[in-house]
Amino acid sequence: MAFKFYNPNPKGKFTDDCVIRAVSKFLDKSWDISYIELFKFAYQEKDMMNKDSIWGMYLDELGYRRKAIPDTCPYCYTIKDFCKDHPNGSFIVGTGTHVVAIVDGDYYDTADTGNYTPIYYWS
C-alpha cells in the first residue's frame, strides 16, 4: 500500500482533472482517450465531465458498479485504510470532492491523498 505519483496529462499540467486521471488509470487508457470518452457523456447530458453523475454514468455503462463505504467511522477511515482492505483489484474511490484510482493496494494521484476520507468506490 503506497502512494504512486500519477499524472498522465500529455502536457504534464497539474489541473482539476482528477476524474480524467482516475478513469485513465482505472481503465488503463490514455488521458486523451479518457477525456474524449468522458466528454461525450458530458456533452450528451449538457453537464460537466467531473460531475459524479456524468463519470458515474460512463462507468455504469461499461459495467462497473458503485458501492458505498460503510459509515462506521466517517472521519477515521482513509484512502490508505481502503487500500489495506483492498490489496487486489482496481478501484476508483470518491471522497465527495476528489477522485483517486487504486490498483492492487496502491493509490495513484498527483499528490498524496491517502488521508482523505472515501465515501464510495467503483469496481
Residue 11 lies in a domain: no
Domain count across the chain: 1
Task: Give the Cα-Cα-Cα angle 47, 51, 57 (nearest 5 degrees).
Answer: 85
Residue 53 lies in a domain: yes
Q: Judge if pTM exceeds 0.95.
A: no
Residue 47 lies in a domain: yes
pLDDT tens series, the chain, 123 aa: 799 999 999 999 998 999 999 999 999 999 999 999 999 999 999 999 999 999 999 999 999 999 999 888 877 899 999 999 999 999 999 999 999 999 999 999 999 999 999 999 999
Structural domain of residue 78, as residue ranges? 17-122
Q: 45 by DSSP, 3-state: which?
A: helix
Residue 2 lies in a domain: no
Residue 117 lies in a domain: yes
The pLDDT of residue 72: 82
The pLDDT of residue 2: 94
C-alpha torsion 47→28→8→64, nearest 10: 30
Residue 94 lies in a domain: yes
Q: How many CB atoms lie within 10 A of CB 39?
A: 14
Residue 114 lies in a domain: yes
Residue 8 lies in a domain: no
